[in-house]
Structure 1
Amino acid sequence: MLNIGCHLSASKGFKNMGLTALSIGANTFQFFTRNPRGGRAKAIDEKDVQAFLEIAEKNKFAKLVAHAPYTVNPCSKDSKTREFARMIIEDDLKRMEFLPNNFYNFHPGSHVGQGLDSGIETIAGLLNDLMTPNQSTIVLLETMSGKGSEVGSRFEELKAIIDQVQLKDKIGVCMDTCHVNDAGYDIVHDLDGVLDEFDQIIGLDKLYAMHINDSVNPLAAHKDRHAKLGEGHIGLEAICEIINHPRLRHLPFILETPNELEGYEKEIQLLKKNYKD
């Protein structure tokens, strides 16, 4: 079965997201834990969560992906920005336990001139402070495109963070197809080579989810502009190879293409049509 979904708005609650996902043919989804620019999160409605969990169990949903706000930068040189990231991630990990055994994804951040090693050490240190042995959530580091001083555009950088994280069973990676393309990994012409490199450096057992996006920019552009499937430099053929790849096909695939709900539904149906059961 293809585990496919898209990014949905959490503003109307989890039950609504579950029903919306089903209405467009999805069996998973991604949501922001709060406003994507940060700020206070809505109180958890336990009845709403329970209603969603019943929908998910009945319809055999794949694991969900929660996304931290874009403003979270745990390796910023600004102490207030780092403290904001700490506050958000700590609160989010507590809230995720209402939806046990799912994923919490975040952008590793930008070291802003402090140096890569310093950024990596700061990110890992924060995770070591906040992650607990009893949490059911697996924290995912997202692959980045390499803009400016971003951390995480190379597999080696993600590996360096993981190596310093104490709770190895609670940490993994979410691979974004647009980001890895823009970072210089040729998933169009050498997908097997890219996966071999990931496996050698990090280990494919640490790859827990995929963001499925085409890219406005060509290989190694070091930018980050998502395109609709088949309308960018990656192309539909390569995307279909990814969702059917024997080393990837079991993962949850999350669309982050520039779409409204109707567009997501069309892309989900397109990928289902091209998925080989």
Structure 2
Amino acid sequence: MLKIGSHVSFSNKGLLTATQEARSYGSSSFMIYTGAPQNTRRKPIEELYIEEGKEAMGVAGIDEIVVHAPYIINLGSYKDNTYDLAVRFLQDEIRRTHAIGVRNIVLHPGAYTDKDAEYGIARIAEGLNEVLSGTSETEVNIALETMAGKGTEIGRSFEELAAIIDKVQENDRLTICMDTCHMHDAGYDLAGDLDGVLEQFDRIVGLDRVAVVHLNDTKNPRGAGKDRHTPVGSGYLGYEAIKRVVDHEGLAGRPFILETPWIGKDSKQSRPMYEVEIALLRGDAMERLGEGFFDHLERLHHFYSKHELDPRTYVLGTWETLKTDAKAKKADPREPMERLYDLAVEHQALPDLTEEELNQRITGWLAGKQLLVNA
């Protein structure tokens, strides 16, 4: 079974709460932070409901999950206090990850800030050597994440990741987390040449090191170096490109994790599209979502076709307008899904649906008419 899920919360009852949320989306894997990603506050391990969570995972048929290290860790910093905090806290997170029974902790490699890339690579490798030697009692791997290239972050190229790995003594405990948005924004042509990108990665780093894949569409054209996620199908990559990543034999067996943003008119009531994204990418949408979903989808295709809208043309055209037309961006900064939602509501295309239900169907529409053929 395809291991696919999303980032879920790790609050209240820890692993049990996270598993329950993941199950509600139909997940067969998921990713957690062991606490808030912006700070170092953490509950004691004995308060994480680990055994109850593992029992719930067994019931849900989930056998592999992933932990993400907090963003505040920066092994590339030249500041001793920042670097020392990063080393110590990452070691603590690895021990917590080990206690939960998770094999891979995803890490943003780090940023060199006021130095240069060569310094950053060496500093990160130095930190990883210290972290790994100090956690030899665990079986946890550090999955270095491919980065988009914003600011001075390291990991924007396969060569940078390979350079770090080469400088780490226990590099058998270093794996890779591929992020589709980050790789696209860093300049890799996932949509047009996935085979070529993976062959390049295999040559420079090795596909055998890939342990996790983050599935995210992107608001930016290739090479923008910005890292701005958007729901599957509503960005420059598109549904088909992300589906090819999921189905690629070179990535088979890895957990695929969605980090797509929640959407909705009211930010306090926004909802994730995880359930429909998972079902569409896994290929069991009819079983998970039911015939009614596809009836609505057919009606949406008919409605938008009357307005001469094609999913990919519309999405890319909207982003290009917002990117190039400053006047339009200022007057109407709405993104493709919100515009599509407004149009459907204005014309009462599916008037009996809630905002979340309509956005789920729009997510399906963005995947294209082929879904109807295969249903």
Q: TM-score range by the shorter chain?
A: over 0.9
Q: Is 1:200 the equivalent of 2:203?
A: yes
Counterpart residue number, 2:9: 9
Q: Give matches, 1:244-263, under 5 Å.
A: 244-259=247-262, 262-263=272-273
Q: Give matches, 1:91-170, under 5 Å.
A: 91-131=92-132, 132-170=135-173
1:154 is matched by which residue type in structure 2? Answer: S
Q: Give matches, 1:167-246, under 5 Å.
A: 167-246=170-249
Counterpart residue number, 1:266: 276
Q: Please report how far the alpha carbon of residue 17 of structure 1 lies from its aligned counterpart in structure 2 after TM superposition.
A: 1.0
2:15 is matched by which residue type in structure 1? Answer: F
- Does the aligned pair in 1 maintain the 2:162–2:205 contact within 8 Å? yes
SS in 1 for 2:150: coil
How big is each residue's C-alpha offset from its partner over 1:63-101, in whole Å with a ceiling of 9 and x where there is no partner?
A: 211111112111112222212212220110111121224
- Relative to structure 1, is the Cα distance of residues 50 and 243 closer, same or farther in structure 2, using a 3 angstrom cutoff? same
SS in 2 for 1:97: helix
Counterpart residue number, 2:64: 63
| TM-score of the aligned structures, taking structure 2 as reference length | 0.70
- Relative to structure 1, is the Cα distance of residues 25 and 81 closer, same or farther in structure 2, using a 3 angstrom cutoff? same
Greater share of residues in helix = 2
- Does the aligned pair in 2 maintain the 1:215–1:232 contact within 8 Å? yes
| TM-score of the aligned structures, taking structure 1 as reference length | 0.94
SS in 1 for 2:148: coil
SS in 2 for 1:126: helix
1:3 is matched by which residue type in structure 2? Answer: K
The structure with more radius of gyration:
2
Q: Please report how far the alpha carbon of residue 55 of structure 1 lies from its aligned counterpart in structure 2 after TM superposition.
A: 2.5
2:256 is matched by which residue type in structure 1? Answer: F
Structure 1, unaligned runs of 5 or more:
none
SS in 2 for 1:45: helix
- Does the aligned pair in 1 maintain the 2:88–2:131 contact within 8 Å? no
Aligned length: 276
Q: Please report how far the alpha carbon of residue 56 of structure 1 lies from its aligned counterpart in structure 2 after TM superposition.
A: 2.4
Work out the CA distance in 1 between the residues paired with 2:75 and 2:48: 33
Q: Please report how far the alpha carbon of residue 274 of structure 1 lies from its aligned counterpart in structure 2 after TM superposition.
A: 7.2
SS in 2 for 1:2: coil
- Does the aligned pair in 1 maintain the 2:186–2:224 contact within 8 Å? yes
- Does the aligned pair in 2 maintain the 1:101–1:138 contact within 8 Å? no
- Does the aligned pair in 2 maintain the 1:36–1:70 contact within 8 Å? yes
Q: Please report how far the alpha carbon of residue 3 of structure 1 lies from its aligned counterpart in structure 2 after TM superposition.
A: 0.6
Q: Please report how far the alpha carbon of residue 251 of structure 1 lies from its aligned counterpart in structure 2 after TM superposition.
A: 1.0
Structure 2, unaligned runs of 5 or more:
263-269, 286-373
2:203 is matched by which residue type in structure 1? Answer: Q
Work out the CA distance in 1 between the residues paired with 2:139 and 2:176: 16
Work out the CA distance in 2 between the residues paired with 1:17 and 1:269: 19
Work out the CA distance in 2 between the residues paired with 1:126 and 1:134: 18
RCO higher in 1 or 2 (8 Å CA, sep ≥ 6)? Answer: 1
- Identity fraction in percent: 41
Work out the CA distance in 1 between the residues paired with 2:279 and 2:150: 32
